[in-house]
Structure 1
C-alpha cells in the first residue's frame, strides 16, 4: 500500500508518503488529491477522516458533495477534495484489509488560508495635536502578521516603518505625519493583502515667505505671500487697515497656497506697508510687505516697526 499527497494547483511536485508522513499543507479554495495504491490481494479498502468513514470500497458514506473517489485502474484508490476549506484539516487514513494483515497509511492535512484584511479604518481628517488610532484587522491561517508603513507624502521618495500591529496609535499627530498609511497582512509562503488609509491633518496658516519689493516709479510692482495651511488658506490684502480689492491699477490673484498683489504702474502713492492675511477655520496669520524705491529707507529700530519713506521728499514722509 502506498499513500501519496498531491498538492494544490500551481505546485507541480507531489510527495510520496510511507506509512505515516509529516503534515502536508494545502491552500484553501483549491483542490487536493490523497492518493492510495493497493495490490491485487486486497479484500477490503476504505478512506477515513479521523474515525469517520468517507468511502468503504466504492460506497460513499460521507454526505459532503466536494469529496469523491478516483479509481484509475484496479490498483488506485484515491480521495479527491474540491474547494478545500479549513474544516477539511486533519488526519486522513487509507485502510486496507488483505489476506495477510490490515495495513494503513495516514497523512495529516493542514489547510492554509491567505491573509485577508477584512476591517480597516476609513480615510480620516483630524486637527493637528489630536490622537489618532488606525485599525487594520486581518484573518488567515496561519494567523497573519500585520505591519504598518507611512508612505511619505509629496513624493519625497522614502517610507517609514512603524511600530504597531492591528492598531496603530499616533499621539499628538503633526502635519508631518499626514499622508498615506499602508497596512500589510502577511504569512510565510502566501500572497499578502495590502490596504491603505489616508490621513489628513488640519493646521492653521503659517506664512512661509514674504518679500519686500524695490520698484521704481512707472514700473510694475509685485508682492507675493506664501502660506502653508490645511485646509488651504483664504488670503486678504490690507493697507493702512483698509482692505484692498482688485481695482484699476491693482490686481490680486490667489493660487491655493500663495497670493500675489500686482501694481501695474507704480506711483509714489503706492509706496508703503502692505499686510497679507492668511486664514482658515483653525486660525489666522499675517505678514507685512513693503513696496519702496531706492530713495526710500526702511527703519525697524523700534517695536512699532516704524517705516519712513522717501526722506528726500518731505511731502511724502509717512510713519507706520
Structure 2
C-alpha cells in the first residue's frame, strides 16, 4: 500500500509540480488528482484595516446528499490560495500542523473549521483569496472550492517622503520640496503656505506631491505644510523655508532741514536673513568715519540710525545708508540734509591772478542757506564802488566780473555775504595780480594737405606769463592712430593716416587764461538767387572752442577786389537772405568766421547771377546812366577835395551826383556829414538823373587820421 502511494505521489509531482511543501507523499497525490471542482460562494469582499485582523469565511458543512456518515467532519484537506502566488498560503491536513507560506508565517490560521484568519494586516495583504476543501472519505473525486474573496486593506496615510523641517535657500535660486505618502485609498496631497492653499502660479507648481519654485524671492519665505489625507485619516508635515538674501530697507532716511547747532537724526532700518546686519553711512560718496570734520562727531546706532550732533554748515549734503549682511548686493537709500545758517564765505585764495587785457573774475566762495541776498566787497580796505570801474559788476554768485583787466584791478579784496539769517563775517583777503595771458607767436594754418603715410608737423607756439602749456586735441572722435606734441608745442603726425584727417585745435594755457585757435573756414557755401536777392547758406567749420559768428561778403563780379561789402549774420544762424541786388547781374559771395580770438579764413568764393527782368521790353526801355569818371581825392588844410569828370555822351539829363561812403569794410551809406577824424573811409560817386542812378564810379580811399 505504501509503495503504491509513493509511486502515485511521484507520478503526480512529476506531471504537475505545483507544490513544494513537506507533506506526506500521499498528500501530494491527492492534491494533484483533485485539482478541479465546483464553486460554492460565501463572501465576495472582506474589509479590514492595517494592523488588524480579517476572517475569510469557508464552510466545512457536509454536503446535503442524504447519505449518512458516522463522522460529520470527515477526513479532509483545507487549502487557501492567493491570486498571484504559485503556492498556497496555507494547507491543513487532518491533525497535522498547517503548512504556511513564508510571507504569512505566524499571521494566518484556520478558524471555525476552514475559515482563514489573517492577523497583523498590511497593505501587501490586499488581494484575491480562494478556499479549497478536499474530502478524503469519498470514493469519488470531490473537491469543494469556495468563490474568490477579495481582501481589501484600508490604511490611513503614512509618509514615505518628506522635505526637511527647516530649509535655507539663496534668493534667486530654484527650490523643490517633495512630499509623498502610502495609504488605502490612495492619499491626496495638498500644499499650503502660511495656512493658505497654494494656487497655480507661474513661478510655483505642484505635481505628484512635489512643490517646485522656479525662482525663490524674499516673499517665498514662510511656513509650508504638506497635508496628505484619505478616508482613513490625514497627516501634516511642516517645513520652515528661509530665503537668504541681501537686506531690505523698511525705514529709509528722509530729507531733513535743520538750523545750525541742532542735532540731526537720520533713520535707516532694514531686515534680512541672515540677520547679522551692519550699517554704513556715506556722505557725498565717502564714509562718514573717513571725513575729518564728521568722524569724531557722528554715531551709528544698532538699528542703523545716524546721529550728527551740533550741526555745522559743512554737514549739508547727501547721506546714504547701506545695510549689509554679506550676501549679494547691498541696497542703499539716500536723503539730503540741509543746514540753515547765516551766509559765510569759504576759503579765499591768498592770490587771484587776472589776465591782462582780458576778462577775469575775483571769486567769492559764498556758502548760504537760505540763499545769499547780496555781497559787499572792499578793495584796499575801502568799500568797492563799481560805478568807478566801467565794465565791472558783481554777478549772481557774488563774484566780481571784470570785462578787461588792467592796473585798476590790482589790490587787496575782501567780500562779506548776507542772507536772511545774516552773515558769519568777512572773508580772508585775496591779492589780485595781473599776468599776461597766452598769446600765439606761431599759429597753425587753417588747412594742411598731406599724403597718407607721410609725416606732418603743425607748428603752434605761444608766449605768456607764466609760460603757457601747449596741448592739442582732435575735434570729434579721438583718433586711434598715434600723435605726438613736441616740446616746442608743434603737433607731430607720423605716420600720417586717414584717422588723423579732420579739425585739430591747439590750446595755450597758463594759470590766468586758456587761449584756443580762431575758427576754421565755413564750407559748402550755396547761393540761390532771385531777381534782386540771394539766399546764402553754408556749413560752419570748427569754432576754435568758442562761440563763433559769421559775416557774408558780397560784390559784383565786375568790380575790383576792394569793392567787397559785408553783412553781419544773426547769432547761431548759418544762412542769410541778401537783398538789394541788381537783376541779371553777376555777384560773388564768401563767408567769414569769427570768434573771440579773431577771424578765421574766408570760405571759397561762390559766383552766381541774379535773375533778369521777366518783361524784356521794359528792360530795354529804361534809360541808363554812365558813372562819373576819374574820381580823385586830395587832402588840403580845409579838408578833402573830391574831383571827377561827368560821364561821357550822356543821353539822359544829368541832375546831379550821389556821394556814398563806407567805413573800413562796412556797408555803403549816403554821405551826409563831415568825415570824422581817425577813420578811414572809401568814397564812391554815382551819376543821378532824377530818381535814376548810375553804376558807381571807381572808389577812392580817404584817410582822415590827423
- What band does the TM-score fall into relative to the shorter chain? 0.5 to 0.7
Residue in structure 1 matched with residue 49 of structure 2 by the alignment: 27
Residue in structure 2 matched with residue 260 of structure 1 by the alignment: 305
CA shift, 1:170, in A, is: 1.7
Could you say which structure has the higher helix fraction? 2
Q: 1:135 to 1:202 in 2, by over 3 A?
A: same
Residue in structure 2 matched with residue 11 of structure 1 by the alignment: none
**Structure 2 gaps, min length 5:** 1-39, 63-71, 201-205, 343-366, 372-420, 426-706
- 2:78 corresponds to 1:46: yes
Q: Look up the SS of the partner of 1:204 in the other structure.
A: coil
CA shift, 1:294, in A, is: 7.2
Residue 236 of structure 1 contacts residue 244 of structure 1 at CA under 8 Å; is this kept in 2?
Answer: no
Q: 1:140 to 1:31 in 2, by over 3 A?
A: same
The correspondence of residues 90-239 of structure 1 with structure 2, limited to 5 A, is: 90-95=127-132, 102=144, 104=146, 106-122=148-164, 123-149=166-192, 151-152=193-194, 158-162=196-200, 163-186=206-229, 188-208=230-250, 209-215=252-258, 221-232=264-275, 233-239=277-283
**What whole-Å deviation, never above 9, does each CA across 1:282-307 have from its counterpart, x for those lacking one?**
012222234456779xxxxxxxxxx9
Q: Look up the SS of the partner of 1:282 in the other structure.
A: coil
**What whole-Å deviation, never above 9, does each CA across 1:107-166 have from its counterpart, x for those lacking one?**
2112244333223344443333322222234334454333333x14xxxx6443453224
Residue in structure 1 matched with residue 601 of structure 2 by the alignment: none
CA shift, 1:42, in A, is: 4.2
Distance 2:368 2:42 in 1: 99
The correspondence of residues 239-250 of structure 1 with structure 2, limited to 5 A, is: 239=283, 241-244=286-289, 250=298
Residue in structure 2 matched with residue 279 of structure 1 by the alignment: 324
**What whole-Å deviation, never above 9, does each CA across 1:158-177 have from its counterpart, x for those lacking one?**
44345322433222222222
CA shift, 1:211, in A, is: 2.1
Distance 1:90 1:49 in 2: 11
CA shift, 1:36, in A, is: 5.0
Residue 158 of structure 2 contacts residue 181 of structure 2 at CA under 8 Å; is this kept in 1?
Answer: yes
User: What is the TM-score of this pair, normalised by structure 1?
Assistant: 0.67
Aligned residues between the structures? 275
User: What is the TM-score of this pair, normalised by structure 2?
Assistant: 0.34
Q: 1:253 to 1:93 in 2, by over 3 A?
A: same
Report which structure shows greater RCO (CA 8 Å, sep ≥6).
1
CA shift, 1:214, in A, is: 4.7
Q: Look up the SS of the partner of 1:200 in the other structure.
A: strand
CA shift, 1:235, in A, is: 0.8
Distance 1:82 1:308 in 2: 96
**Structure 1 gaps, min length 5:** 1-17, 297-306
Residue 130 of structure 2 contacts residue 145 of structure 2 at CA under 8 Å; is this kept in 1?
Answer: no
The correspondence of residues 68-107 of structure 1 with structure 2, limited to 5 A, is: 68-71=109-112, 78-95=115-132, 102=144, 104=146, 106-107=148-149
Distance 1:46 1:170 in 2: 58
- 2:106 corresponds to 1:62: no
